[in-house]
């Protein structure tokens, strides 16, 4: 060091203490060791936090004599990167209350597939979920669009962040059930925004949330869609079938929603349970032609460009330039707003 340790910031001092304690345990101490840390992220930039997390991980894993354990309190996602779900304790204080409540997941509460999924989540932006009061679960590009769109609806910049709400990308509608299971056990409220084909093959993964009758109705819809798709593809070259299958499936789903009242009522019941279905199809089906031309390199790039435009927008009437329909997004916003307890 070029200056004494006491002239360094608290972050560097914390890292030094961990390193010295590790050295002491390796060279002099025999037996089990326990290291307690409070807010080790203070005054450290993100890279420094990750480096310190790596040092803590080394301390735990490289023990030759006795078990080592680290217990820490943190508001930093970086320190959850290597944590098992069963080792995570979420301490939450309800708004307007001075009392806190701890939440923890027992190992037997979740299956191995969910544990594996959340090991991936811990390494992504989605890890901020564990610090949120609630979250909007989405399939894809809505992750980028909703924060800017909700700012316009609320008339307030960073409205979701101020409300301590995250938008979490689950990467596929079949993962919603895994997230809901974990969030329920940790006391984090949720709502879901999903594409129309959730009715086709996503609803069955939320059997603890959706009623048996609704799941059976969705199975009937799936069967009807499959028959229609196979009929349409029977004379199509096999090299084209995979590309066409999704479009034909979505086409049939839209027809069913328009014509069958029981499916419309199903979508209404899902909304009451916090599951909002994009009845027009998927996110891009809500864009105007101008919005669809923003960036054709990828769907995510297009949504990011639109999110940037929205972030600079002040007048809600300007949204009609970019969206053909906003009803589903307004309904979602009102549902999320009601969760915050604001009028």
Q: Say whether pLDDT at 12 is over 80.
A: no
* Position 83 confidence tier, pLDDT thresholds 50, 70, 90: confident
**Lowest mean pLDDT across 92-96, 157-161, 230-234:** 92-96
Q: Say whether pLDDT at 155 is over 80.
A: yes
- CB-count burial class (<10 Å; 0-12, 13-18, 19+) for 93: exposed
Mean pLDDT value of segment 44-61? 85
Q: Say whether pLDDT at 44 is over 70.
A: yes
- Report the predicted TM-score, pTM, of the whole model to 2 decimal places: 0.90
Alpha carbons 29 and 46: distance in angstroms, whole number: 31
Q: Say whether pLDDT at 216 is over 90.
A: yes
pLDDT for the residue numbered 7 = 61
Alpha carbons 210 and 194: distance in angstroms, whole number: 15
* Top-ranked range on mean pLDDT: pick from 69-73, 158-162, 231-235: 158-162
Q: Say whether pLDDT at 160 is over 60.
A: yes
Q: Say whether pLDDT at 311 is over 60.
A: yes
How high does pLDDT run on average in the chain?
A: 89
* Position 116 confidence tier, pLDDT thresholds 50, 70, 90: confident
Measured at the CA of 240, the angle between CA 239 and CA 245, to 5 degrees, comes to 125
Q: Any alpha helices (H) in the chain, and if so which ranges?
A: 10-27, 46-61, 112-121, 142-154, 159-162, 176-185, 198-201, 212-233, 238-259, 261-272, 289-292, 299-311, 327-340
Query: Higher-confidence residue: 234 or 12?
Result: 234
* Top-ranked range on mean pLDDT: pick from 5-14, 43-52, 71-80, 273-282: 273-282
Q: Say whether pLDDT at 91 is over 60.
A: yes
Query: Higher-confidence residue: 51 or 104?
Result: 104
pLDDT for the residue numbered 81 = 85
Q: Say whether pLDDT at 159 is over 80.
A: yes
Closest CA to 70 of 46, 85, 88, 44: 88
What share of the chain has pLDDT > 70, as a percent?
Answer: 95
pLDDT for the residue numbered 42 = 82
Cα distances from 327 to residues 22, 254, 273, 282, 293, in angstroms, run 57, 17, 18, 14, 22
Length of the chain: 343
For residues 169-207, one letter each, b for 16 or more C-beta atoms within 10 angstroms of the residue's C-beta and e for the rest, the string is: bbbebebbbbbbbbbbbbebebbbbbbbbbbbebbbbbe
The tokens of 296 are what? 């054709």
DSSP code string of 89-129: EEEEE-TT-S-EEEEE--GGGS-HHHHHHHHHHTTSGGGGG
Query: Higher-confidence residue: 19 or 132?
Result: 132
pLDDT for the residue numbered 341 = 78
Q: Say whether pLDDT at 110 is over 90.
A: no
Q: Which helix (H) or strand (E) holds 41?
A: none
Mean pLDDT value of segment 32-60? 85
Q: Say whether pLDDT at 298 is over 90.
A: no
Q: Say whether pLDDT at 9 is over 70.
A: no
Judge contact between 164 and 132, C-beta under 8 A: yes
pLDDT for the residue numbered 172 = 85
């Amino acid at each position: 060091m070029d200056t004494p340790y006491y002239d360094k910031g608290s972050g560097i001092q914390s890292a030094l203490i961990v390193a010295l304690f590790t050295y002491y345990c390796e060279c002099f101490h025999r037996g089990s060791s326990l290291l307690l840390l409070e807010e080790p992220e203070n005054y450290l930039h993100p890279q420094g936090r990750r480096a310190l997390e790596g040092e803590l991980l080394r301390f735990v894993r490289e023990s030759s004599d006795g078990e080592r354990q680290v217990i820490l309190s943190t508001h930093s996602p970086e320190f959850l990167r290597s944590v098992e779900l069963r080792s995570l304790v979420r301490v939450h204080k309800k708004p307007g209350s001075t009392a806190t409540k701890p939440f923890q997941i027992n190992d037997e509460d979740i299956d191995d597939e969910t544990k594996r999924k959340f090991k991936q989540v811990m390494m992504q932006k989605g890890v901020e979920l564990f610090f949120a009061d609630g979250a909007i679960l989405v399939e894809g590009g809505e992750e980028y669009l909703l924060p800017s769109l909700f700012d316009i609806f609320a008339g307030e910049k960073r409205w979701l962040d101020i409300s301590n709400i995250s938008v979490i990308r689950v990467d596929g509608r079949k993962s919603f059930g895994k997230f809901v299971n974990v969030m329920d056990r940790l006391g984090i409220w949720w709502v879901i925004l999903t594409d129309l084909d959730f009715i086709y093959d996503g609803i069955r993964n939320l059997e603890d949330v959706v009623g048996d009758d609704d799941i059976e109705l969705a199975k009937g819809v799936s069967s009807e869609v499959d028959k229609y798709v196979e009929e349409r593809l029977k004379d199509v070259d096999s090299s084209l079938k995979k590309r066409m299958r999704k479009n034909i499936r979505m086409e049939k789903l839209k027809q069913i929603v328009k014509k069958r009242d029981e499916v419309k009522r199903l979508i209404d019941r899902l909304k009451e349970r916090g599951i909002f279905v994009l009845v027009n199809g998927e996110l891009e089906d809500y864009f105007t032609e101008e919005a669809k031309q923003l960036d054709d390199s990828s769907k995510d790039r297009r949504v990011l460009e639109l999110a940037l435009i929205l972030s600079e927008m002040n007048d809600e009437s300007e949204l009609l330039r970019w969206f053909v329909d906003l009803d589903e997004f307004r309904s979602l916003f009102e549902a999320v707003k009601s969760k915050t307890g604001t009028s």
